[in-house]
Amino acid sequence: MNFMNNSKLNFMNRNSMNKTLLLFIVLLSSNALMAQGVLSGDAIKNIQFTDASGRLLPAGQSGIEGTPYVFEKFSKGKVVFTNGVEATDPNLNYSYFDHKLYFTKDKNLYTVNLPVKDFYLENAEDPNNIITKHFACGFPVVESNTLTSYYEVLGQGKVYQLLKYSHKRIKESNVYGGAPIKEYVMDNTYYVYVVADKKMLPAGSSISFKNLKKALPNDAAKLDELAAATKINTKNEEGLGQLIAKFN
């Protein structure tokens, strides 16, 4: 009887130890993955994105002038998923037409079907003028935009963020004696995101220093002082983004 109790006790102890060991291995593996993907801050290179349906998607409708994408050519980019994992890929692009993130692999086109928080696209066609664009979602619902709508982040400060929502539509123009011309045209809407209040302030379809101050009337004088002190060019969106980033 004692032998049976001891055997049962030994078995339970071994079973408990196995479970503990398994849990330790799982936790160790999870921590290793987190360290590789998040804590180290290094992106996971050449991650294998998968498409839900596995089908080839068209780059754009035929017979339409222009491109639906951010850049004409697919290029290097970085993706930050909602779980914090980062990934880089040499062939990324974003469509302003259907608002999806695309990548190419083996001359095929796919959509990124995992939830993405931020992504960066780089245009390095001109080595002397490398352009990097940062897009993010998760901002409050405003007008027809939702939490999953992507905005280009022009300026990211502690108090405000300057955002641009862009959409490309197909415009058809009639030509006398010829076939109609179809082309992609861009519509932009600018917003100021108030970080503390988590509020979106519309700033119009075009951005200017005047429109920015109109959206932020209580801080208009401070913006004037900051622009004078920093000598930032406030005549374009790049300069206005820098101004917002420095405002505190």
52-98 pLDDT, tens per residue?
A: 454 444 555 568 889 999 999 999 999 999 999 898 889 999 999 99
Could you tell me if residue 60 is inside a domain? yes
Percent of the chain residues past pLDDT 70, beyond the cut: 75
In this predicted structure, what is the pLDDT of residue 26?
33
Residue of 134, 103, 104 whose CA lies nearest to 118: 134
Q: Residue 219 phi/psi, 5° resolution?
A: -115, 15
Task: State pLDDT tens for residues 151-194.
Answer: 999 999 999 999 999 999 999 998 888 888 999 999 999 999 99
Could you tell me if residue 1 is inside a domain? no
In this predicted structure, what is the pLDDT of residue 59?
52
In this predicted structure, what is the pLDDT of residue 64?
87
Could you tell me if residue 74 is inside a domain? yes
In this predicted structure, what is the pLDDT of residue 177?
82
In this predicted structure, what is the pLDDT of residue 104?
85
Q: CA 139, CA 147: separation in Å to the nearest integer? A: 6
Could you tell me if residue 110 is inside a domain? yes
Q: Structural domain of residue 67, as residue ranges?
A: 43-136
Could you tell me if residue 186 is inside a domain? no
Domain count, the chain: 1
Could you tell me if residue 104 is inside a domain? yes
Q: Give the confidence band of 122 by pLDDT, cuts at 50, 70, 90.
A: very high
Could you tell me if residue 107 is inside a domain? yes
Q: Give the confidence band of 120 by pLDDT, cuts at 50, 70, 90.
A: very high
- 69: DSSP letter: B
Is 7's pLDDT higher than 80? no
Could you tell me if residue 101 is inside a domain? yes
List CB contacts of 232: < 8 A, sequence separation 6 or more: 226, 239, 242, 243, 246
Is 199's pLDDT higher than 80? yes
CB burial of 117-149 (b: ≥16 within 10 Å; e: otherwise) equals bbbbbebeeeeeeeeebebbbebeebeebeeeb
Give yes or no for a contact between 145 and 202, defined as CB atoms under 8 angstroms apart: no
Residue with more model confidence, 165 or 22? 165
What integer best gives the mean pLDDT of the chain? Answer: 80
Expressed in percent and rounded to 5, the helix, strand and coil fractions of the chain are 30, 35, 35
DSSP string computed for 183-225: EEEEEEEEEEEETTTTEEEEEESS--HHHHHHH-GGGHHHHHH
